[in-house]
Structure 1
Amino acid sequence: MKVLVYSAKKFEIPYLENANNRKHKLTFIEDTLSSETAMKAVGYEGISIFSADDASDLVLEKLKDFNIKFISLRSVGYDNVNLKTASRLNIKVANVPAYSPNAVAEHAVALLLALNRKLILANQRVKQFNFDLDNLTGIDLNDKTVGIIGTGRIGFVMAKIMHGFGCKLIGHDIEVNNELVEKYNMQYLPLKDLCKEADIISLHVPLNTETHYLIDDSLIEQMKEGVIIINTARGAVLKTEDVINGLKNGKIGALGIDVYEKEKSIFFKDHSYDFPKDDMLIKLNAIPNVLITGHQAFLTDEALTNIAETTIYNLTCWDEDRETENELTNAKKLSSHLS
């Protein structure tokens, strides 16, 4: 199958080539998929896209006109794809449902530890041979209450790690994970109650109509003074403007994010010489108790290997006229995604 790989990054191309092993004719381009770049897919049967690519109605209509039949996502999330439209146009879409829960959960913990123990500030001082300890005080994680919003694959690993630190675990999800309850004594609570009790809140939910701006002023008001919030899920799960206000008034003690609600035109590119004109991001960057990474939680050797292998597997299934269990546009899965 001839496949155009949009948003191809230098770090991932060797993994995709290795997994492909010449099964498909892959062409890599740095361009993100948009209504303007959709025409580049002319002559291809399938495309592969990443989280910043736009597969909305208009783009999908164009791809259909260009005879694109398959879209293989290199991500878990699929909020950038209109699955209902893809299904109507008979374009098959599949994702990578579980490339490495460990990678993302471990990154969330790294953000937490770096913020809590002021590692960035401490390192900056030491680089200047300043070994003063003022303003570097953190807290013991042992015995603290960690609220995990979203207890799927990644949230499960996060809970397991935080249990190892001796934390009390509380969770919120539409489904109770009995293994977390039995093994790690997690207590499931309504969202407002979780916010009232948690010293640390870690987000691991997909972005949909229910979770868009899930964390806003009304929930922040319910939180403990000085709460630490970690988000490695999707940027728009946080209402950034409200979170900035919470940081300014001290309600939020620290914020660690690997995602940002307006990251689409910013992340994955070097803006060193062309600063983004994004007031909220500039404000966040200026707050000392905020730690931002550029959507790199997935960036481990193991995760990149799994992403590449699953991406190629999905394409191979379609090429051989077989179903892939990762397809999002079959009738049964589509119904569950849209319900």
Structure 2
Amino acid sequence: MFADCYRDKKVFITGHTGFKGSWLSLWLSQLSAKVYGYALAPLEGERSHYAQLALPIESTMADIRDFARLSAALQEASPEIVFHLAAQPLVLESYRDPLNTWNTNVMGTVNLLEACRHVPSVKAVVVITTDKCYQNQEWPWGYREVDALGGHDPYSASKAAAELVAASYRASFSSAHRPQPLLIATARAGNVIGGGDWAQDRLVPDAVRAVQAAKPVEIRNPRAVRPWQHVLEPLSAYLLIGQRLLAGDVLAAKAWNVGPSERDVASVAAVLDGMAEHWPALQWQATDASAHETQALRLDSSLIAAELGWHPVWPLSRALFETVAWYQRADSAHLHTLPQLNAYLHDAIDAKLGWAC
């Protein structure tokens, strides 16, 4: 698996207590990595996939905006690779609190990269942004890595800015005063679904809460089209990119799109209807949109397919099935997270994907 490149490696994850971060922490633990986490602690009384998993990793519960604390944690861990997931990840929250969004997503990335360049052990950094970092033209085709960055809402714009921060550090500081180059890549994933996401104002967890409350979920924009993918899809790409960076592949130190196949680009309504096939209690109704959101968003992932050999494993239908199955047994879902990861790996091996062999 990933040529055993993570075995016994020190890996530092920011945002490890979040949705994607908890899954990534589990996966790296299964790869026998020594995982260090840095993130805000889950709020008291808040559901937490990370807390459910009870992973044996070393955690620092602190703010990515605290440069001194972050630098000290990195120095103490002395990792070889860093995955930067810590962020304010919600569009509507970015309208409610733009200052925190900009500080977290932009200056948090600056803090992380600045700290990394002063830790000699760090060879590679994978910065996680989003498909929303592009200047959206409502095109019926997918955005490519060479397309213009932009963003209407503070979240999207702040992630575009984080891409520029990463590009600047890559160009300016990769070899400055270091025993080996600091290789920096960014990854722009599509709309991620899967068990363990309890965020507000996000489609799947909102739908789950509505089912549990025995009422329809209110949907702002049911015709909006997005590139949906199971959480394990982008994580496999992040790990593959990290593998190449650890091997010293300077050509992998750039921006990468990570999205589903074109057939799995679907409307919000189609996703909800697909979930309802496995969960008949799920009902939805349209409501007025309270803030500007793009209507169409697609992602072209042909570059990572051609150069790194990455391809998605699960189609949207399977992703929806696995997601619903996880939430239907949410009270003991931590017992089902690892089996889902193992099922995904089994299917990746059957598909003869290089990283899974």
Q: TM-score w.r.t. structure 1 length?
A: 0.37
Structure of greater Rg: 1
